[in-house]
Amino acid sequence: MKKARWTVIVSLWALLTASACLAADGVRIYDGEELAKRAELIVNGIKIQIFSNDIEDVAPLLVDVRQDGTETMESLSGKIDKRRRELFDGLEMRLKISKIREASTARGAASPRASGYVDLVESIYWWDNYNDPGNYWYACYDSRAMACFTHVKSGSYDIFDYNNLEDATWVYQDTIYEGISYAGTLYGDYSYKCYGGVATSGYNVANVVMYFYE
């Protein structure tokens, strides 16, 4: 088992290194399958992106979204998820919500803030993420803190994290099985932070939520 996990760590590291240009906005996402982008819009300075190969028309997911300046990252995800559960429960979909920042407060730029304060800038919701045995998913972002919540709907996963400042490698955290959830956090100075899961059973499906803070 240790040898197998070491092989996975090497593979994850190779993919992480090779994926440096996967996303222009700095978020690296991988799950072995490229999901089609079905929608992209900006609401109240927040970018919404919806990806799915199972759902072609995602317009019904957006019917509750308001353009009156009152929406937040949290309210948008809640409204979209409510419609998803009503209309498309069980179908794979990824929702990415990003706070649009001015150039002066872009990634890595110093900004005044109270000690200990962090601001949510990226959130990823990965519903019904299917993985063949040995396949894996991960998401990474340059951030001060991140949180990952994983619920296994079927099969099992080895969970790894990566904190460039502290570890500079993928670190095994836990193995979770069907019906079990995992919650993990990474924090510290501004650095590259990731969470990933490796499918270890014959049929593997998980819901994954990640939050990145600056």
Q: Which domains does the chain have, with CATH numbers?
A: 2-106+115-213 (2.60.120.380)
**CB-side exposure of 127: number of CA atoms within 13 Å?**
22
Q: Tell me which amino acid residue 192 is.
A: Y
Determine the 3-state secondary structure of 161 from DSSP. Answer: strand
Q: Where are the alpha helices (DSSP H) in 37-72?
A: none
* pLDDT tier at 166, thresholds 50, 70, 90: low
pLDDT at 13: 52
Q: In this structure, what token pair is assigned to residue 102?
A: 């001015």
> How far is CA 142 from each of CA 98, 105, 197, rounded to the nearest angstrom?
13, 13, 19
Residue 191 binned pLDDT confidence (cut-offs 50, 70, 90): confident
Look-up: residue for tokens 């399958």? 33
**CA-to-CA dists, residue 77 to 73, 133, 141, 209, angstroms:** 6, 30, 19, 11
Q: What are phi and psi of 161, to 5 degrees?
A: -130, 165
Q: pLDDT category, 14, cuts 50, 70, 90? A: low
Q: Is 27 exposed, middle or buried (0-12, 13-18, 19+ CB in 10 A)?
A: buried
The per-residue pLDDT for range 103-157, each reduced to its tens digit, is 434 555 544 444 456 799 999 999 999 999 999 999 999 999 999 999 999 999 9
**Could you say which DSSP state residue 95 is in?**
E
Overall pTM surpassing 0.75 (yes/no): yes
- Structure-token match 């407060």, residue found: 105
Query: In sequence order, what are the beta bridge partners of 92?
Result: none
